[in-house]
């Protein structure tokens, strides 16, 4: 390719990057009824589980925090169709004036499917039900969080595939003239812990080992991916506050890849990546 066309391609790429949002904010739903009492999942469909009173307060405070971050900039929210995510978003946007945000329901960022009603067995109640659910989770720990498939449900790998198709949609959205930063400088994804970790894994090309070493996010916790406009990582996204947000499971050492390893590591934490 001639120098002229290399220069043209570079200029086109630079103009395209100007369309990218300033921030991508990953948000986990506030405390749900299932976080308070997991046995509810034996008789209430997971998509219909709401948030607790404490969760409502968490979401309210989260809205205040996000408003302080984005100030007067507009936000485009994508929200999981699960009740706990929608209720969280409702509280968040209550802190924003109308016209500052747009919200869209997005089924692909829903919770991992754990298999319809979990442990739906009339003979399993109370401690027996809790023991059965604990047994399934221990099996998952032994098998691996990424590849383990819940009975009649999904594996982490299945959710990873959903993340990939959703990212393709984001690519197209960001390239639309009507989406540019003059309209929406921020994109918020109100979702679930597993989706957030797999989104980061897909974006930064982490390995399965690195994904499985990462602890889940807390209720109403968020991660900010911010576009770098200057320096060596220009036009790439950095995870802010990664030291406090990206936590390894207790007793698990983070993988220590060499600098030549193509995967982005959490320990070295060059949590920068170009737009996919």
- pLDDT tens for each residue of 102-141: 999 999 999 999 876 665 555 555 566 667 777 877 888 7
Identify the pLDDT of residue 8: 40
Mean per-residue pLDDT, 216-240: 87
Residue 272 has pLDDT above 90, yes or no: no
Residues with a catalytic annotation lie at 29, 111
SS3 222: strand
Contact between 74 and 184 under an 8 Å Cβ cutoff? The reply is: yes
Among 219, 200, 4, smallest CA distance to 91 is for 219
Backbone angles phi, psi at 173, to 5 degrees: -60, -45
Identify the pLDDT of residue 47: 94
Mean pLDDT of the chain: 80
Cα distance from N-terminal residue to C-terminal residue, the chain: 23
Residue 241 has pLDDT above 80, yes or no: no
Rounded to whole angstroms, how far apart are CA atoms 190 and 80? Answer: 6
Among 64, 68, 92, smallest CA distance to 79 is for 92
CA distances from 86 to 26, 71, 93, 124 (A): 14, 22, 11, 30
Reported as a pLDDT band with limits 50, 70 and 90, residue 51 is very high
59-103 per-position pLDDT tens digit: 999 999 999 999 999 999 999 999 999 999 999 999 999 999 999
SS3 224: strand
Contact between 20 and 275 under an 8 Å Cβ cutoff? The reply is: yes
Q: Which residues are annotated as a binding site for substrate?
A: 28-35, 84
Identify the pLDDT of residue 214: 87
Identify the pLDDT of residue 11: 46
Is the pTM higher than 0.75? The answer reads yes
Q: Which residues are annotated as a binding site?
A: 28-35, 84
Least confident of 10-24, 110-124, 206-220, 237-251: 10-24
Least confident of 5-14, 90-99, 231-240, 262-271: 262-271
SS3 138: helix
Fill in the DSSP letter of residue 246.
S
Contact between 256 and 247 under an 8 Å Cβ cutoff? The reply is: no
Reported as a pLDDT band with limits 50, 70 and 90, residue 148 is very high
Contact between 58 and 85 under an 8 Å Cβ cutoff? The reply is: no
Fill in the DSSP letter of residue 42.
G
Q: Which CATH number fits domain 20-273: 3.40.50.1240, 2.40.37.10, 1.10.10.1150, 3.90.1300.10?
A: 3.40.50.1240
Identify the pLDDT of residue 119: 56
- Domain map of the chain by residue range? 20-273
Residue 260 has pLDDT above 50, yes or no: no
Reported as a pLDDT band with limits 50, 70 and 90, residue 181 is low
**Across the beta sheet with 23-28, what order do the strands follow?**
101-105, 75-79, 186-191, 23-28, 222-227, 237-239, 272-273
Contact between 193 and 209 under an 8 Å Cβ cutoff? The reply is: no
- Residue 239: CB partners within 8 Å, gap ≥ 6? 200, 223, 224, 225, 245, 246, 271
Identify the pLDDT of residue 270: 35
């Amino acid at each position: 390719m001639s120098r002229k066309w290399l220069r043209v391609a570079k200029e086109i790429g630079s103009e395209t990057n100007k369309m990218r949002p300033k921030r991508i904010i990953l948000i986990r739903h506030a405390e749900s009824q299932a976080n308070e009492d997991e046995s509810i999942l034996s008789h209430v469909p997971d998509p219909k589980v709401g948030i607790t009173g404490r969760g409502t307060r968490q979401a309210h405070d989260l809205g205040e925090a996000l408003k302080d971050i984005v100030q007067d900039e507009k936000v485009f929210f994508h929200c999981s169709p699960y009740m706990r995510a929608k209720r969280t978003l409702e509280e968040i946007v209550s802190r924003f004036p109308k016209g500052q945000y747009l919200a869209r329901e997005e089924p692909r960022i829903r919770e991992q499917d754990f298999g319809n009603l979990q442990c739906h067995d009339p003979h399993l109640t109370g401690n027996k039900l809790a023991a059965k659910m604990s047994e399934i989770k221990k099996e998952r720990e032994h098998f691996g969080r990424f590849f383990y498939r819940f009975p009649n449900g999904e594996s982490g790998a299945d959710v990873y595939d959903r993340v990939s198709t959703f990212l393709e949609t984001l690519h197209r959205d960001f390239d639309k003239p009507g989406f540019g930063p003059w309209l929406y400088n921020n994109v918020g994804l109100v979702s679930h812990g597993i989706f957030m970790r797999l989104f980061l894994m897909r974006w930064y090309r982490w390995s399965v080992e690195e994904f499985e070493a990462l602890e889940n996010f807390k209720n109403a916790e968020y991660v900010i991916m911010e576009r770098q406009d200057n320096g060596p990582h220009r036009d790439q996204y950095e995870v802010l506050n990664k030291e406090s947000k990206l936590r390894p499971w207790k007793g698990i050492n983070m993988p220590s890849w060499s600098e030549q390893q193509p995967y982005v590591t959490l320990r070295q934490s060059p949590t920068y990546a170009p737009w996919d």
